[in-house]
C-alpha cells in the first residue's frame, strides 16, 4: 500500500505536504489570504529542518515570481504559491516565466479580484491568466490539490514541455475546508517526481549563459512564441502520460477530465474546481428523479483538451457550462463556456451550449442551484445569454 | 591595484556591444568587473534598460559571465533568486565553485520602479553587489526625468516650458536611503575616479551580505555634451561636490575625496545642454537653489563623515 497516512487536513496543509515531499531547492513566496497558511506551514517545515529548501520571504508577489525566475535560471527546482491580487501583481512575470521556459510550479488558491475587495472564491484570478503560457490544473478537493501539485512538477519539467504550471484550488472551500486526505510515502513521491535536471543553468562555470536576451533587432520573437505553443501542445500529451503513471504508482488515474453519469446523458453540466463536487451531488439527485443528466469535471484548462472534450460530449445535445468568473465581453459566457463553444465549432453534431455563472466572490453554490441548472437544460427552459445562479436579482 | 595590471585582465563585458561611444554605463561596468577576483565566477543581472538592450541582442551576448534580465522593476529580486539557488545548491553539494552576484541597474530601475525590490533584497541580506549606473534620467526610453534627476534639469518629461523651466524637485539621496538599511557596505563613486571605484568594488565583493555602489555615469545623449567629455563631466561632478565620493562601512561614513577648491556648481553645469536654461538670468533663482541644495547636502555629508571644516 502506498498510502502512509490518512489525515483530516485543510487544503493548504495538503499542498504544503506536497511541497515538503517535492522539496524544491528554492521557494520564494509572499503571504496573501487565503493562500497564507501554505507559506506559514512550509516556513515551519523549513524552520524545523524538514526540508533543505532555501526559502525567500520576499516583499511582494512580483518579487516572489521574479526571484523564482532568477532561481530557476540558476538551475534550481522552484516553487511559489499565491492567490488573487497576488497573482494579479505577478502578471508581468507570468509571461516572462513561461517565455523563458522555466518550469516553476505554483499552487494558486482561487480568490476573486477586487473591486469590491472580497477574499472569497471565484476563478477570476486564474482565468485571467489563462493566456499567460502556464499549464493550469484545477482541483476538486484537497486530495486532488495534493496530487496535482505532485504531478505538476513532473509535467512542467518534462523536456518537451518546460513550461510553468499552476495548480488551482478553490479559496476557503478547499483551502480552509477540512477533509480526509491520503498521503503517500515520501520516498515514493520523491521517486515519482525525480531529480530535476535543468537543461540550462547560469551556475555552470564552464558554460556561462545569457538568460532573457533582447529580441530587438533580428526578429526571433514570433518563432519563440510559436515554439512555446508547441510546448503547450506537448504538455497535452505529457499531462496524460504523467496522470497514467501516477495511477500505476498510486492507484488513481488522472486525465484531462472526469465524467459522471455521462454515457447515457441527454444533458450535461461542465464544472471545474470544488463546484464539480456540488454538481456531482446534484446530478445524482436528478438521476434519482429520473432525469438523464450527466457531468464532466474539467481538470486541465491549459492546455485545453478540445478534441477529447468534443469526443466525450459528442452524444449530448445540450450542455451547460458552469463558469465561476466572467469575461465582461458584453455578450454571454465565461471563459470555460467560450472555450467549449469554440471547441465544438468544427464538430459534426453541435450541441446547444448554455452559459451559467455562479459563485462569484464566494457566493454559495448549492446543490439546489446545480439541480436548477440541470432541470433548465432538460426542460429546454433557459434564458438567452448567461443564466446567473444564486444572484440576488429579485431582491433588489 | 595598478592600472597596468588591470589592463591585462580579461574583459567580462566584451567589445561589440551596442552602447553609444562615450557611454558612462559601460565604463562603470568595466571598472567594476575589473575589480572582481578572477577565480570567482560571476552572474550579472540587469533590469530593462540601455545596458540590457545593448549587450544582449539575441542571438548575441556581450557577456562572458552568466547573465539574466527578466523585467524592469525587479533586478534585485531576480538576482536574489539566483543567489538563493546558489545557496541551496551549494549547501546540497551540487555546486562547488564560488560565485559573485552583481546587478547593474540604471537610476530609473533603482531609484524609482525597482526601489521596492531593491529594499526587500537588501533587508533579506542576499550576498550580492548592486551597482547603480546613475545617469540621472530614463535614458533608454529617451531622457525622461527620474528620482535621480537634479532640480532644474531639462528632460523630455520635465521640459523647459514658459511656465516651468525644467524639473521642479530635488533628486532623492538614494545612497543614504540604502545605507539606512544597515547593510555591510554602501558607497558613492564616479567613473572619473577609477581607482576609487575599483577599490570600492573589491570591498563590496568581500563582505558577507548585500553591498551597494551608486556610480555617477554621465550620458552625453541625455545631458547634452560632446561624447568625449564623459569622464571630464563625471570629474566635475565630484569636484563641485554635486557627487561626493564616500563609503559607509557597517554604518560608519568615510569621505573619500575632498577637493582642495570646491568648484562652483556653474563649472559643472555650464557645458551640459540639460542645464543650459539655468545659465540665463531669468532662471538664476533655480540655479541658486540647486547650489544651495548641493551645499546643504555636502555639509550634511561632512558631518556624517566626521569632517569638521571645509577646505
- Could you tell me the three cell numbers for A25? 531547492
Dihedral of the alpha carbons of B57, B61, B66, B67, in degrees to the nearest 10: -20
CA dist., res. A230 & res. A303, Å (int): 11
Determine the residue of chain B that is closest to A197 in CA distance: B94
A60 vs B contacts (CB less than 8 Å): 116-117, 120
CB within 8 Å of B162: residues ≥ 6 apart: none
What is the spatial distance between Cα B66 and Cα A191, in angstroms, rounded to a whole number?
A: 31
Cα A373 to chain centroid distance, Å, stands at: 24
Count the neighbouring beta carbons within 10 Å of the beta carbon of residue A178.
Answer: 12
Q: What is the mean pLDDT of residues B127-150?
A: 98
Instruction: Give the pLDDT confidence score for residue B7 in this predicted structure.
Output: 87
* pTM flag (> 0.90): yes
Confidence (pLDDT) at A217: 75
Q: Is the pLDDT assigned to residue A1 strictly greater than 60?
A: no
- Give me the residue from A71, A212, A217 closest to B85, CB to CB: A71
Q: Which residues of B touch A96 (CB under 8 A)?
A: 70-71
C-alpha triplet A329, A333, A338: angle, nearest 5° = 95
What lies within 8 Å, CB to CB, of B145 at 6+ separation is B137, B138, B153, B155, B157, B158, B167
Inter-chain CB pairs, A–B, below 8 Å? 175
Mark which residues 19-58 of B lie under 8 Å from A by CB.
41, 43, 45, 52-53, 56-58
Question: How do residues A42-51 score in pLDDT, each as one tens digit?
Answer: 999 999 999 9
pLDDT at A2: 66
Look at B69 and A202 and tell me if their CB atoms are within 8 Å: no
- DSSP letter assigned to residue B110: I
- pLDDT tens digits for range A302-334: 999 999 999 999 999 999 999 999 999 999 999
Q: Which residue of A has its CA nearest to B68?
A: A211
* Chain A contact for B304 (CB, 8 A cutoff): no
pLDDT, average across residues A75-96: 98
A202 vs B88: CB contact, 8 Å cut-off? no
Residues A54, B79: C-beta atoms closer than 8 Å: no
Alpha-carbon distances, residue A258 vs A261, A301, B28 (angstroms): 10, 13, 59
| Residue of higher predicted confidence among B2 and A201 | A201
> Which residue on chain B is closest to A210 by alpha carbon?
B67
Determine the residue of chain A that is closest to B64 in CA distance: A208
Asked if A49 reaches chain B (Cβ–Cβ under 8 Å), the answer is no
Give CB contacts under 8 A, 24+ apart, made by B111-114: B111/B146, B111/B147, B111/B148, B111/B171, B111/B172, B111/B174, B112/B146, B112/B147, B113/B72, B113/B73, B114/B47, B114/B72, B114/B73, B114/B74, B114/B75, B114/B76
Whole-number Å distance between alpha carbons of B7 and A392: 76
Terminal alpha carbon distance of chain B: 28
Scanning every residue of chain B, which has its alpha carbon at the shortest distance from the alpha carbon of A62? B74
Note the pLDDT tens digit of each residue in A6-26: 999 999 999 999 999 999 999
Residues of chain B neighbouring A202 (CB-CB closer than 8 A): 43, 66-68, 82
Distances (CA, A) of B37 to A12, B9, B42: 46, 10, 10
Evaluate whether B216 touches B237 at the Cβ level (below 8 Å).
yes
How buried is residue A215: exposed, middle or buried, by Cβ count under 10 Å (0-12/13-18/19+)? middle
Pick from A67, A216, A220: CB nearest B53: A216
Task: Report pLDDT for A395.
Answer: 54
Q: What is the pLDDT of residues A113-124, one digit of tens each?
A: 999 999 999 999
Nearest-Cα distance to chain A for B161, in Å, is 34
- Reported as a pLDDT band with limits 50, 70 and 90, residue B310 is low
**Other C-beta atoms within 10 Å of B309: how many?**
5
Inter-chain touch A211–B69, beta carbons under 8 Å? yes
Please report the residues numbered 295 through 324 in chain A whose beta carbons come closer than 8 angstroms to any beta carbon of chain B: none
pLDDT, tens digit, 9 for 90 and up, residues B179-233: 999 999 999 999 999 999 999 999 999 999 999 999 999 999 999 999 999 999 9
**Helix A186-193 with A142-157: angle, nearest 10 deg:** 40
Residue A394 binned pLDDT confidence (cut-offs 50, 70, 90) = low
pLDDT, tens digit (0-9, with 9 covering 90-100), for B46-99: 999 999 999 999 999 999 999 999 999 999 999 999 999 999 999 999 999 999
Confidence band, pLDDT 50/70/90 cuts, at residue A218: confident
Check if A188 contacts B (Cβ < 8 Å): no
Q: Would an 8 Å CB–CB cutoff place A210 in contact with chain B? A: yes
Cβ-based contacts of B101 with chain A (< 8 Å): none
Between 3.40.50.2300, 3.40.640.10, 3.90.1300.10, 3.40.50.970, what CATH number should domain B20-146+172-262 receive?
A: 3.40.50.970
Q: How far is B103 from chain A (nearest CA, A)?
A: 12
A211 touches chain B (CB under 8 A): yes
Percent above pLDDT 70 for chain B: 99
Tens digit of pLDDT for each residue in A174-192? 999 999 999 999 999 999 9
Predicted confidence band of residue B128 (pLDDT cuts 50, 70, 90)? very high
Please write the tens of the pLDDT for every residue from A127-148.
999 999 999 999 999 999 999 9
Domain ranges in chain B are: 20-146+172-262
Q: Which of residues 111-140 of B touch A (CB under 8 A)?
A: 116-117, 119-121, 123-124
Q: Which residue has the cell 547636502?
A: B297
Share of chain A above pLDDT 90, in %: 96
How far is A221 from A198, CA to CA, in rounded Å?
23
Alpha helices in A48-118, H assignment, sequence order: 61-73, 84-89, 91-99
Task: Name chain B contacts of A211, Cβ cutoff 8 Å.
Answer: 66-70
User: End-to-end distance of chain A based on CA atoms, in angstroms?
Assistant: 56
CA separation (Å) from A198 to A73, A229, B84, B100, B125?
9, 20, 16, 21, 27
The C-alpha cell that represents A157 in the structure block: 519539467
A396 — pLDDT class (breaks 50, 70, 90): very low
Chain B CB contacts of A78 under 8 Å are 81, 85
Torsional class of B74: left (φ above 0), alpha (ψ -120 to 50), beta (otherwise): alpha
Cell numbers standing for residue B53: 538592450
The answer to whether B74 contacts A214, with C-beta atoms less than 8 Å apart, is: no
Average predicted confidence (pLDDT) for chain A: 97
Which of A382 and A166 is assigned the larger pLDDT? A166
Asked if A28's CB is within 8 angstroms of B81's CB, the reply is: yes
Opening angle at CA A259, ends A257 and A265, nearest 5: 140
Is the ipTM higher than 0.95? The answer is: yes
Report the pLDDT value the prediction gives residue B111, as an integer from 0 to 100. 98
Mean pLDDT calculated for residue range A102-108: 98
User: B66 vs A67: CB contact, 8 Å cut-off?
Assistant: no
Give contacts of A218 with chain B, Cβ < 8 Å.
57-59
CA–CA separation, B147 and B132 (whole Å): 13
Q: Which domains does chain A have, with CATH numbers?
A: 3-250 (3.40.50.970), 257-389 (3.40.50.920)
pLDDT more than 70, % of chain A? 99
Q: How far apart are CA B71 and CA B57, in angstroms?
A: 15
Cα(B47)–Cα(B49) distance, integer angstroms: 6
- Closest residue, chain B, to A30 (C-alpha): B120
Q: Residues A390-396: what's their mean pLDDT?
A: 75
Q: How many C-beta atoms lie closer than 10 Å to residue A284's C-beta? A: 15
B101 in contact with A, Cβ within 8 Å: no
Supply the pLDDT for residue B67.
98
- Gyration radius of chain A over CA positions: 21
Identify the CA nearest to A299 among candidates A340, A269, A333, A254. A254
Amino acid at each position: 500500500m502506498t498510502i502512509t497516512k490518512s489525515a483530516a487536513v485543510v487544503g493548504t496543509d495538503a499542498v504544503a505536504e506536497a511541497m515538503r515531499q517535492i522539496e524544491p531547492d528554492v521557494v520564494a513566496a509572499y503571504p496573501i489570504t487565503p493562500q497564507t497558511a501554505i507559506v506559514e506551514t512550509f516556513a515551519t517545515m523549513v524552520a524545523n529542518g524538514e526540508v533543505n529548501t532555501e526559502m525567500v520571504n520576499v516583499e511582494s508577489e512580483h518579487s516572489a515570481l521574479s526571484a523564482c525566475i532568477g532561481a530557476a535560471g540558476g538551475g534550481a527546482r522552484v516553487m511559489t504559491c499565491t492567490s488573487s491580487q497576488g497573482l494579479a501583481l505577478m502578471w508581468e512575470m507570468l509571461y516572462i516565466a513561461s517565455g523563458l521556459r522555466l518550469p516553476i510550479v505554483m499552487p494558486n488558491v482561487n480568490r476573486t479580484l477586487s473591486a469590491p475587495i472580497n477574499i472569497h472564491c471565484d476563478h477570476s484570478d486564474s482565468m485571467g491568466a489563462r493566456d499567460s503560457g502556464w499549464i493550469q490544473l484545477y482541483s476538486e478537493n484537497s486530495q486532488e490539490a495534493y496530487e496535482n501539485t505532485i504531478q505538476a512538477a513532473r509535467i512542467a519539467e518534462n523536456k518537451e514541455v518546460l513550461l510553468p504550471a499552476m495548480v488551482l484550488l478553490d479559496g476557503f472551500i478547499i483551502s480552509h475546508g477540512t477533509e480526509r486526505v491520503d498521503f503517500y510515502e515520501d520516498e515514493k513521491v520523491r521517486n515519482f517526481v525525480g531529480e530535476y535536471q535543468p537543461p540550462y543553468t547560469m551556475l555552470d562555470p564552464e558554460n556561462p549563459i545569457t538568460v532573457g536576451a533582447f529580441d530587438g533587432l533580428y526578429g526571433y520573437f514570433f518563432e519563440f512564441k510559436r515554439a512555446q505553443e508547441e510546448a503547450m501542445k506537448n504538455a497535452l500529451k505529457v499531462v496524460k502520460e504523467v496522470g497514467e503513471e501516477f495511477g500505476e504508482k498510486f492507484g488513481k488515474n488522472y486525465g484531462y477530465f472526469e465524467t459522471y453519469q455521462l454515457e447515457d446523458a441527454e444533458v450535461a453540466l461542465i464544472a471545474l474546481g470544488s463546484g464539480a463536487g456540488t454538481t456531482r451531488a446534484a446530478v445524482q439527485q436528478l438521476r434519482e428523479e429520473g432525469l438523464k443528466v450527466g457531468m464532466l469535471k474539467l481538470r486541465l484548462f491549459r492546455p485545453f483538451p478540445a478534441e477529447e472534450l468534443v469526443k466525450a460530449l459528442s452524444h449530448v445535445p445540450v450542455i451547460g457550462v458552469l463558469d465561476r468568473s466572467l469575461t465582461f465581453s458584453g455578450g454571454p459566457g465565461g471563459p470555460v463556456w467560450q472555450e467549449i463553444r469554440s471547441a465544438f465549432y468544427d464538430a459534426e453534431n453541435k450541441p446547444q451550449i448554455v452559459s451559467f455563472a455562479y459563485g462569484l466572490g464566494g457566493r454559495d453554490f448549492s446543490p439546489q442551484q446545480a439541480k436548477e441548472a440541470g432541470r433548465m437544460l432538460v426542460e429546454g427552459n433557459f434564458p438567452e445569454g448567461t443564466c446567473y445562479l444564486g444572484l440576488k436579482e429579485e431582491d433588489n | 591595484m595598478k592600472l597596468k595590471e588591470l589592463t591585462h585582465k580579461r574583459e567580462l563585458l566584451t567589445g561589440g556591444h551596442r552602447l553609444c561611444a562615450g557611454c558612462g554605463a559601460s565604463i562603470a561596468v568595466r571598472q567594476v568587473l575589473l575589480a572582481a577576483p578572477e577565480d570567482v565566477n560571476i552572474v550579472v543581472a540587469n533590469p530593462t534598460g540601455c545596458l540590457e538592450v545593448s549587450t544582449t541582442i539575441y542571438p548575441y551576448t556581450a557577456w562572458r559571465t552568466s547573465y539574466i534580465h527578466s523585467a524592469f522593476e525587479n533586478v534585485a529580486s531576480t538576482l536574489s533568486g539566483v543567489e538563493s539557488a546558489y545557496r541551496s545548491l551549494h549547501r546540497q553539494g551540487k555546486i562547488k565553485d564560488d560565485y559573485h552576484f552583481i546587478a547593474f541597474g540604471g537610476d530609473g530601475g533603482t531609484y524609482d520602479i525597482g526601489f521596492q525590490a531593491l529594499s526587500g533584497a537588501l533587508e533579506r541580506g542576499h550576498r550580492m553587489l548592486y551597482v547603480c549606473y546613475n545617469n540621472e534620467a530614463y535614458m533608454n526610453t529617451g531622457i525622461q526625468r527620474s528620482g535621480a534627476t537634479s532640480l532644474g534639469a531639462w528632460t523630455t518629461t520635465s521640459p523647459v516650458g514658459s511656465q516651468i523651466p525644467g524639473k521642479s524637485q530635488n533628486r532623492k539621496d538614494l545612497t543614504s536611503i540604502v545605507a539606512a538599511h544597515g547593510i555591510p557596505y554602501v558607497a558613492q563613486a564616479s567613473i572619473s575616479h577609477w581607482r576609487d571605484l575599483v577599490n570600492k568594488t573589491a570591498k563590496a565583493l568581500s563582505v558577507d551580505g548585500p553591498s551597494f555602489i551608486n556610480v555617477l555615469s554621465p550620458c552625453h545623449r541625455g545631458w547634452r555634451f560632446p561624447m568625449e567629455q564623459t569622464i571630464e563631466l563625471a570629474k566635475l561632478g565630484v569636484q563641485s561636490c554635486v557627487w561626493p565620493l564616500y563609503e559607509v562601512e557597517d554604518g560608519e561614513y568615510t569621505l573619500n575625496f575632498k577637493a582642495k577648491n570646491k568648484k562652483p556648481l556653474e563649472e559643472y553645469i555650464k557645458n551640459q545642454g540639460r542645464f543650459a536654461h539655468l545659465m540665463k538670468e531669468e532662471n538664476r533663482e533655480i540655479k541658486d537653489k540647486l547650489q544651495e541644495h548641493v551645499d546643504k547636502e555636502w555639509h550634511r555629508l561632512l558631518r556624517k563623515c566626521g569632517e569638521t571644516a571645509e577646505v
